[in-house]
Each structure stands twice: as C-alpha cells, then as structure tokens.
Amino acid sequence: DLEEKKPAEGLPITIDLKHVQEIDSTVGRDLDELNWSDRSYYLRADIATERQIDENWKASLKLIWVSGAAAARAVRETDTLAIRELNLQGKVDLPILGESAFTLGRQFVKFGYGFLLDTDFAAVDGVRVDVKRFGLNWTYVGADIPTGNAFTDYRDLQGNPLTGTDGMFGLRVSRGFLGEDRLKLAVSWLYTGERNYKAYGADLSLRLLGGNILPEVRAEWVRSYRDPANNPADGNLYHIEADILKTDRIDLIASYTDKSSNFAGHAVTVYNPFYITNTERLFLRPVAFGAVAGASVLADKVIDLKADLKIFGKSPISLRWFTGDDQNGNDFGDVFTVAY
C-alpha cells in the first residue's frame, strides 16, 4: 500500500510591535507643567507561536523585547529577547487522579480573581495539573518563582527584585451550582507563595439578573497567616465586584476592596501586575488595590469604577476612577484615566 503523506504544516507566528510615548510631569523641574524634558519612549516587540504536536499535546512560546529611556528609568529593559512563556500542554493519565490536563514549563497561573495567587507580573516555571474528580474541579500548582534581576524575574510589592530560590505550591477546588454556570464557588490554599508566605481563601461568581442591570457579582476573600518573612500575619482581605450595567454601548463595573490591619500580601498577586514604566504601574492595572504613587500605596478602603463607552465604532472609550487610603491610613487621592 502507498503511504499517504500529509503536507508539512507551517509554524504560525504572531509579531506585535509598539512604540509607546510617555509624558511624565514628575520627571522635569516644573511638576505642574508639561515640558519637552518630560517626554520619553520605549519600543516593545511581542512574538508568539504555538505548535500542535499531536492530538494530545501542544507547545506554546511567547517572547518579549523592550528598549528605550522610559523603560530604562524603571529598570524594565530587556537585554535581548526574553522568554515570557514556554510550555507543553496536554493530557496524561496519572495514578489516583486519572485523566488530567497537564501543563509543564513557564506558564501563567491564576486562582480566582488573583488576590491570593496571580502570576500577571511574570510567568512561573513549574507544573500545573487540572482534573475533575468527585464532581469537583481540582487544580494543583507547583512552581519556581523566577528571582534575580532579569526582565522576567519577580519584584516584591516595593519594586525590589526577589533574591534566592523561591518555590510555590497551591491547591484550588471549585464547583458550579444552579446549572453549573449561575453560581460558582471555590476554595484555594497557597501553602507557600513569595518566600514563606502562606494564605488561603475563597471566591465566587453569581449571575443575579438576566437583564442589563446588575447581571453578575464576583467576590474574593483571602486570609493570610504567614508573611513573606515567615512572621505570623493573621489578617483578611475582602474584594467585591459587580457589573452594574452591561449593554451593547455601556459597560459599568464597580468594586470595593478592604483589608484588616494584620493582613499580609505577597508579590505573586493581581495587585502586583506586569508593567514596563512607573506610570503604567499606576494607571494600567487590573485592580486599583496596590497602586503605587511615589511613596504611597493604595492599600485600604479602595473604590474602583470603570466604564467602557462604545460611541464610535467597536472600540470603546474607557473611563476609570479609583481612590482609597494608603498604607498609613491617609487619603491616597483620586486617580482618573481615559483610554481609547
């Protein structure tokens, strides 16, 4: 019999190039005026590709390159192409667990809404296993947190590079109720995060109404019991978020985040997100909690309002306002952003 040969498939590659011009009035002499000396820029290139190896396995690669004065000021340039993501994803039959989704290599991981665990700043190197047993969805994560001075290495909440070997292990169990989608509940445990950090928590999403007003509410609770230095830190963080209005033209989202005085955070969370410049660290954030402005950190009683307005075509105008108290209990001030 003649063997039928399939044509060789190419390797799909996506390349995204950006030139970012930043104007920062805190750089020049006159803090209340914008001058040419306040202007700086950076160039960014993102390269992504993936390959389906066989019916069960897929490989994924993402690279990034950043260069320019605006990035250099925040010490966020890459010396060469940096690996943001490199992993194998597939299905394996594990003892006890049975058939499981398996991810090996540098990858992004998130539990709930990220206040317990979110690798938004940089991917971690390790193993993730997702399996469904006893009617529950189980996720196990064991990884190494990249430390050092490279672009893809982690920085703590103060912006300082992490040092030394740092392992991470977490477990998450979730289940859907009321038709699997209307109510979703989950509990998570982070046995170790940044250095000796330990915490656990729970999160939920609930679809309230079927219309455009208040269609969904999301919430997360995190309780820390060890800070990164291994000191006792029994404290709580609460986050609640709601879609206030959701139509074809307007999306309005409101959230509130509060914490107790003894709560301890760590670096591998949604409130320590990826950024290239210090300006982006303040304005381009998934959550307002943890925003940094000079020596102030938005750390308590945080109100965050976001609105997407589709006025011209499909691209929305995004408006945002957030405020709250800083780490010392003082008023952080008001932050307004407009994006298109």
* pLDDT tens, position by position, 201-245: 999 999 987 778 889 999 999 999 999 999 999 999 999 999 999
Q: Residues of the chain whose pLDDT is less than 50?
A: 1-8
> What is the rounded CA–CA span in Å between residue 204 and residue 209?
16
Q: 86: closest CA among 111, 108, 112, 105?
A: 105
pLDDT of residue 8: 43
- Name beta bridge partners: 177: 183
Task: State the pTM of this model.
Answer: 0.89
- How crowded is residue 62: how many other Cβ atoms within 10 Å of its Cβ? 19
pLDDT of residue 329: 92
Q: 110: closest CA among 315, 272, 317, 307?
A: 272
- φ, ψ of residue 79 to 5 degrees: the values are -70, -35
> What is the rounded CA–CA span in Å between residue 300 and residue 157?
15
> What is the rounded CA–CA span in Å between residue 202 and residue 20?
38
What are the residue ranges of helices labelled H in 5-127?
Answer: 69-73
> What is the rounded CA–CA span in Å between residue 69 and residue 152?
19
pLDDT of residue 119: 95
pLDDT of residue 2: 44
**Residue 64 structure tokens:** 């990034």
**Residue 24 structure tokens:** 């920062």
How many angstroms separate the Cα of 83 from the Cα of each of 87, 97, 164, 250, 308? 11, 31, 20, 37, 32
Strands 317-326 and 136-144, sheet pairing? unpaired
How many angstroms separate the Cα of 14 from the Cα of each of 17, 47, 48, 63, 106? 10, 6, 5, 10, 19
How many angstroms separate the Cα of 313 from the Cα of each of 101, 127, 310, 316, 317? 39, 42, 7, 8, 10
> What is the rounded CA–CA span in Å between residue 189 and residue 88?
25
> What is the rounded CA–CA span in Å between residue 54 and residue 90?
9
Place of tokens 């990249």: 146
pLDDT of residue 209: 76
How many angstroms separate the Cα of 92 from the Cα of each of 52, 58, 62, 102, 142? 16, 13, 24, 7, 17
